[in-house]
Amino acid sequence: MMRKLSLLFAGALMGASAMSLVYGAPGSAANAAGSETYKQLAIFGDIFERVRANYVTPPDDKSLVENAINGMLASLDPHSSYMNAEQAQDMRVQTKGEFGGLGIEVTMENDLVKVITPIDDTPAAKAGVLAGDYIAKIDGEEVRGLTLNDAVEKMRGPVNTPIKLTILRQGADKPIELTVVRDIIKVKAVKYRVENDIGYMKITSFTEKTYDDLENAIENIKKQVPNDKLKGYVLDLRLNPGGLLDQAVSVSDAFLKRGEIVSTRGRDPKDVTRFDAKPKQVDDINGKPMIVLVNGGSASASEIVAGALQDLRRVTVVGTQSFGKGSVQTIIPLGENGALRLTTALYYTPSGKSIQGKGITPDIKVDQPLPPDLQGRDLTRGESDLKGHIKGADESKTGSGSAAYVPPDPKDDLQLIYAEQLLRGEKTDPSFPPNPDKAVLNQ
């Protein structure tokens, strides 16, 4: 049975994850601890030594310390954690949006790595890897018994280094041996296409390249459809787990002429940072109508974008309740190239509302039915369901989140179909088009 998991060759893309990140500014120095705190630390040191000396099997010191640190951070909230050197490097790869690899999108099926598609003009495509191929061996090692992440880890690596893949291909009478030389793979953070008279843009995550990819998508859509024929745009933020705060601000700014986008508020009541759109005469899509799609997989940075554009009445939001992650994680570099991911602030929409534990409520709710093979499974995702989450100021018993599912075939995508029908005037709703004069602002 196919596992519903797909990874690009970054090793560990952010994917549709509840643990999405919005990175803030560097943290400040810690305050000095009191004498009672040092007594407690002495108890910890005593326990650590007793475990090392008396546990039934010799424990790994590094693992003991890392688990103790993560235990402390996990007691704070679900998004604070310690990253060792390898994990910190993976995080940097994710946010950079490029990596040394082969350039294929893969999943796991029948205990083998199945190629969903090779990315155009990448080492894998040039070497002859095809969609539907099964990777049975990596450098002579059997794939069976490995997890998808383990297999991906083996296939990524330094640029200009070779890797040998043993491939099973339908119609071939024997395995195919291919040698692929790794190269820099640039992951597109924005996928786009033209649906006759509508421009469709899907932001998969907020990496360092998201805004540039978005601008490229807008320009290409404008070239394909004359301005007088273009009905509008759909911005798809479903299954988008978030990413970089500055990219969320830049993306929001692209569709605004003025106004506050988001504010962050830290521990100190005076610690408030506001991010505003740059004043301009016309936005990047020439004021064309736009609909934003969200669901339970829309979290963090994607909620910043949806919340800003909704409050300022620039777009109509369609779909189901978003995830509700309204916290900011600061990445603090540590020794030996590790890092501390620590929740340091909460963010608020232009109306002054906290998304934490609540999420973005769509202007028009459109549910997406699950296919027969997924019915009966709980695909609901929400911050309010996470153990130990920070309770949001606007969180209610209803909580946040909804089903995190998008059909692979656009013909089955009821939320997208509804959005396109609104843009073409085939459906009407009081929420569309929105009235900018009724923007909801924090007074």
Handedness of CA 12, 15, 21, 23 (dihedral sign): positive
Query: From the CA atom positions of the chain, what is the Rg in Å?
Result: 24
What is the 8-class DSSP label of residue 266? Answer: E
Is 302 a known active-site residue?
no
CA 116 from centroid of its chain's CA atoms: 20
Q: Rounded to whole angstroms, how far apart are CA atoms 346 and 331?
A: 15
Single out the residue of 298, 285, 295 nearest to residue 251, CA to CA.
285
- Element at 151 (helix H, strand E): helix 148-155
The answer for residues whose C-beta is within 8 angstroms of residue 24's C-beta and 6 or more apart is 245, 264, 328, 329, 330, 344, 345
- Element at 8 (helix H, strand E): strand 7-8
Selecting among 300, 327, 384, 431, the annotated active-site residue is: 300
- Element at 49 (helix H, strand E): helix 35-54
Selecting among 77, 133, 311, 363, the annotated active-site residue is: 311
3-state secondary structure of 346: strand
Q: Rounded to whole angstroms, how far apart are CA atoms 359 and 246?
A: 20
- What residues are paired with 272 via a beta bridge? 265
CB burial class (10 A; 0-12, 13-18, 19+) of residue 37?
Answer: exposed
Between helices 35-54 and 61-74, what is the axis angle to 10°? 140
What is the 8-class DSSP label of residue 411? Answer: G
Is 325 a known active-site residue?
yes
Q: Rounded to whole angstroms, how far apart are CA atoms 48 and 64?
A: 8
3-state secondary structure of 315: coil
Single-letter amino acid code for the residue at 235: L
Selecting among 114, 137, 288, 325, the annotated active-site residue is: 325
Active site residues: 300, 311, 325
